[in-house]
Structure 1
Amino acid sequence: MNVPMRVDDVFRSAAREAGDAVQLLLADGTEITYAQTYERAARLAGALVSAGVRKDDRVAGLMRNSREIVEFYIACGLAGVIGVAINAMSTEREVDRILADCGASAIMVEARLLERVVSCPQVAGMGLRIVTRQERVPLGWEAYDAWIARSKPIERRDGTSPDDPAMMIYSSGTTGAPKGILLRHSALVLNARMTSGVLGTGSTDRYLAILPMFSSFGHAFDFLQAGLVRASTVIMEQFDERVAVDCVERLRVTFIAGVPTMFARMFDPANIAGRDISSLRLIDVGGGPVAPRLKQLLHDDYGLEVVESYGLTEISPVASVQPPGGDNAIGSCGAPLPGIEVRVIALDGTPASTGEAGELQFRSPTLMIGYWNQPEATAAALRDGWLRSGDVGKLDERGHIHILDRTKDMIISNGFNVYPKEVENVIAELPGVQSVAVVGVPHEISGELIHAFVVASPDVRLNEEEVLRHCTRALASFKRPKRVTFVDAMPLTGSGKIRRVALRELLASEHMSGKKK
């Protein structure tokens, strides 16, 4: 049997070998088989090629979890194009910036998100614009269902290979500019195969897609891993803790991958009381540290097997995972996946000893191709074949990874990575802002809340409400500060850099020296 090494190969094989198996379950109870999904994806691929989309063109997708985003990913592989996954919470400005950077020749947009793109200059110049879930569409746009119904399906474009780029996911950089992380087919498939092998999921499992599929982890778990093992996936358009528990109970979900904040909300006593979740057997928690209290609650009160994983988009995306039923130490993220090498480099640049903290670095065939159009950033991240994660961790005696801290300044809010510089750049646009710094504040439910510190010009009256209103217009919801504190001056290092540690200490102190104006 041929081993699939491209994303589209995975679903071609599933359609041929298990075509009648249920791949997707929608909120309204509709069941969609692997054969049905693949047939529509092949039609979408044919429509893209017929419309003049060329091999390795970038095709953007702005969609929440749905059958259409699944078809989009498969079709991009069949058509030999690069799928650009855009966060569905992005603002019009953020979308336009991404489209300008990647040079997308086409875009596929969910109807409910259409208002965010219709006025984008980049979208106006595209030759192909597609709307899903809507029959009546604006002039110059194609209605998805009718458009693919007229198309002839294709098997796969000639000249494609497993080493082709498959998708690009944008992540904010430390400079505040978005970086397109380019991932190849073979890396995505290999990573998904290794992860599902450790987790032991199979065709009898039923996944619940609470992670957004526009993210690398949602794509990996609920789309690609599920497809590899021919499991079924229950589609949630967006996370809601009540709906999630209802899906577990009603549709007999067996496996969920998510971030700590999701499970904290799902398993809140007020939300879970009286519900039958006996079908659920395994939970994979990633995207941030898991509170021991939550892990104990899931295991002791609900009898659930809970494993922790660690990864980053640049590694396609899982680096390590705890095996179910294993002797998993508290605070560990498990051993690196087979084929992934890890080393820890101390602050002085030398290899760290066992138990010593340092930067985690990885070498693997699943590493990214690089950052789109950013050769310097790529060279800085990939050195001599090793990926510099920017995360601080250590290895224990068994070689298991322990995360001690994240990238120096990054904030994780509701499972999403937020780089302060991007938020700071937006706030700095306001007249009268002399200096701005953003830090994360620990929060039991959200992981971290975003808090902004601002130094305003003496002759300008600027208040918290104005800053928050500006951020609402310019930033996705998970990137927006919850509070703003005005200070007379920023604490600085000897080299003139803002001391974020001092700002965090300032928040923790009961006697803040800075006052809101």
Structure 2
Amino acid sequence: MTSADEIEPASPRSRPPWHWLATPPRHLAAFAHLWRNVTIAGLAQELARREPDFVALIDGQRAMTRKEWLEEAQALAAAMADTGLQPGDVVAFQLPNWHEAGVLNLACAIGGFVINPIVPIYRDAEVRQMLQDCGARAIFSCGMHRGFDFAAMARRLRDELPDLRHVFVVRPEAGEVHECDYARLLETGRDLPRHPAATDPDAVKMVLYTSGTTGRPKGVLHSHNTIEHIVRSSYEHWGVRPGDTIIMPSPVTHISGYANGLEAPLICGTRVVLMERWDADTAIELIARHGVSGTVAATPFLVELAAAARLASTRLPSMRWFACGGAAVPADLIPAANRAFDNMTAFRVFGASEVPLVTYGWPHDEHLAATTDGKVVSYDVKIADDDGTHLPAGVEGEILARGPSMMLGYANHEQSAEAIDDEGYFRTGDLGRLSADGALTVTGRKKDLIIRGGENISAAEIEDVLRSHPAVRDVSVVAMPHERLGEGVCAFVVGEGTPASEQDLCDHVAASGLARQKIPERFVFVDDFPRTASGKVRKDVLRADARTRAG
């Protein structure tokens, strides 16, 4: 197998930042025997051959059969190649949970392109960083959506980024004129010859950006093999069968929404119902109409689904499982939610974009499902102290994990070297305990990270923006409890000169181009921060203060 650093670029274009990466990297080589060495391009062909009329993907606009999904993806791949895109080029998309995202994802697998999902909440500042870092050659954007013109933003960024050559618009509004929209591209591809790329399952399939603990986004790299393995093995553990219907309210630009919404129907033969926007009452109607059997979603969705089911006097008998995570899960939540349904078992899971689903949950043990964050199945997990020393069962320390579904690395070599230890374990930055029987319980975070409704928010990124305000001498941003979303954003501010109002600071963050979800919900004005003897800010004290203020 040839490592990527031995391959010369096919054209005089910028090399991807991961050109140094060997495939598979050393920390994954020991798990290669667990991979099937397939891509969704080949799997989709086999599924379409066996049962072409099976409806595999449903959104608010359309229900697509396997045959339609494959044929449209083949046409789109041919059209993208006709524009000059080459295997290995990065193709970004910033779309809601629409069926077009599923077509594009399969088309990239067929054409050998690297897919770059970007969450729709991001604006110029974040999107520019991501596209520039990965050297994206094309982006698929919606037009005007929820009051924001995504296509206009993409065109602005194209003028600034020399690698970004193509902006394709999905579902433009009537009367909008664009250089190339998705529908026109698809029709062009139907008449083109098809020459699918011979894609290596070990090759980089996806680059997905996560905020991490600093303002610098990290490009998480996955291969076809790592994603395929986590979907297949978790569905086997949960008892998901071919033909089952899954509902997906999580964004398909997140690792959970991407894997379960766009990949699982082609890996496991399931059907997916995509929700463009979460609404518990709508979810109940869709679950009943389509006979949905389960989902993977953030904790607030489970709480709201159970409450809505009680109000609607329905027990949703088709629902068998609900894997939840992304926010704190109180121990009494799981049994309380289970009592709202006839046949459903909810359970906690733990993972990250870098190590998707370290635990698969306890679908057959309600006590463990409610009191731990799941059962470690396909990963090796160790709990370590600050010096990296392996700690015994039951002792709290940092959670480190390695396994066949771990990322290849970050796009940036230095970030990878810092995140992966000498034994090939990824340092999650989360604290926890591991029992002798493989039950993992997360107890806290070393990372300076805010998880708002399952969305990672970098405190440092917000701090950098607020410090640029003339009335702010210093600022420290921490998580605070949020009744619905798990965590919100609280900013402790040391002022400078004429005091700024909370609205002034909110407007300042909004004007920076950051997503509105990063605007602090609460500002606390202080004379100084609590500090350690060495002068470091005691964020643990500030978090406790924020919890008290939040009541």
- Relative to the length of structure 2, the TM-score reads 0.87
- Residues 137 and 406 of structure 1: is their aligned pair in 2 closer, same or farther, counting only changes over 3 Å? farther
**1:11 maps onto 2:44 in alignment:** yes
- CA–CA distance in structure 1, aligned partners of residues 387 and 490 of structure 2: 32
> What residue is the counterpart of 2:29 in the other structure?
none
- Residues 228 and 461 of structure 1: is their aligned pair in 2 closer, same or farther, counting only changes over 3 Å? same
> What residue is the counterpart of 1:439 in the other structure?
478
Does structure 2 conserve the Cα–Cα contact (< 8 Å) formed by 1:284 and 1:308? Answer: yes
User: Could you say what secondary structure the match of 2:44 adopts?
Assistant: helix
> Which amino acid counterpart does residue 305 of structure 1 have in structure 2?
T
> What residue is the counterpart of 1:133 in the other structure?
171
**1:144 maps onto 2:182 in alignment:** yes
- CA apart distance, 1:269: 5.0
**1:286 maps onto 2:325 in alignment:** yes
**1:273 maps onto 2:312 in alignment:** yes
- CA apart distance, 1:223: 2.2
**1:258 maps onto 2:302 in alignment:** no
> What residue is the counterpart of 1:358 in the other structure?
397
Equivalent of 1:115, from 149, 166, 173? 149
Q: How does 1:154-165 map to 2 (within 5 A)?
A: 154=194, 156-158=196-198, 160-165=199-204
- CA–CA distance in structure 2, aligned partners of residues 268 and 407 of structure 1: 33
Higher alpha-carbon deviation: 136-145 or 105-114: 136-145
- CA–CA distance in structure 1, aligned partners of residues 311 and 158 of structure 2: 43
- Residues 14 and 213 of structure 1: is their aligned pair in 2 closer, same or farther, counting only changes over 3 Å? same
- CA–CA distance in structure 1, aligned partners of residues 366 and 435 of structure 2: 13
User: Could you say what secondary structure the match of 1:314 adopts?
Assistant: coil
User: Could you say what secondary structure the match of 1:344 adopts?
Assistant: strand
Instruction: Give the count of matched residue pairs.
Output: 505
User: Could you say what secondary structure the match of 1:336 adopts?
Assistant: coil
Does structure 2 conserve the Cα–Cα contact (< 8 Å) formed by 1:79 and 1:157? Answer: yes
User: Could you say what secondary structure the match of 2:133 adopts?
Assistant: helix
> What residue is the counterpart of 1:308 in the other structure?
348
Does structure 1 conserve the Cα–Cα contact (< 8 Å) formed by 2:481 and 2:547? Answer: no
> What residue is the counterpart of 1:42 in the other structure?
74
User: Could you say what secondary structure the match of 1:59 adopts?
Assistant: strand
**1:224 maps onto 2:269 in alignment:** no
State the identity as a percent. Answer: 28
Equivalent of 1:467, from 499, 505, 530? 505
Q: How does 1:298-337 map to 2 (within 5 A)?
A: 298-303=337-342, 304-315=344-355, 317-326=356-365, 329=368, 330-337=370-377
> What residue is the counterpart of 1:515 in the other structure?
none
- CA apart distance, 1:119: 4.3
- CA apart distance, 1:255: 0.8
Does structure 2 conserve the Cα–Cα contact (< 8 Å) formed by 1:167 and 1:184? Answer: yes
- CA apart distance, 1:147: 1.5
> Which amino acid counterpart does residue 349 of structure 2 have in structure 1?
S
- CA–CA distance in structure 1, aligned partners of residues 171 and 85 of structure 2: 22
**1:200 maps onto 2:232 in alignment:** no
Does structure 2 conserve the Cα–Cα contact (< 8 Å) formed by 1:211 and 1:217? Answer: yes
Does structure 2 conserve the Cα–Cα contact (< 8 Å) formed by 1:44 and 1:153? Answer: no
- CA apart distance, 1:321: 0.9
Higher alpha-carbon deviation: 329-338 or 460-469: 329-338
Unaligned runs of at least 5 residues, structure 1 = 513-517
Equivalent of 1:23, from 51, 56, 68? 56
* 1:305-334 CA-partner distances (Å, limit 9, x unpaired): 11221111112x111112422465132222
Equivalent of 1:97, from 129, 144, 148? 129
User: Could you say what secondary structure the match of 1:318 adopts?
Assistant: coil
- CA apart distance, 1:382: 1.3
> What residue is the counterpart of 2:450 in the other structure?
411
> Which amino acid counterpart does residue 243 of structure 2 have in structure 1?
T
- CA–CA distance in structure 2, aligned partners of residues 187 and 164 of structure 1: 10
- CA apart distance, 1:302: 2.0
- Residues 246 and 193 of structure 1: is their aligned pair in 2 closer, same or farther, counting only changes over 3 Å? same
- CA–CA distance in structure 1, aligned partners of residues 549 and 273 of structure 2: 46
* 1:225-249 CA-partner distances (Å, limit 9, x unpaired): 2332211111111222222122122
Does structure 1 conserve the Cα–Cα contact (< 8 Å) formed by 2:466 and 2:475? Answer: yes
- CA–CA distance in structure 2, aligned partners of residues 144 and 251 of structure 1: 28
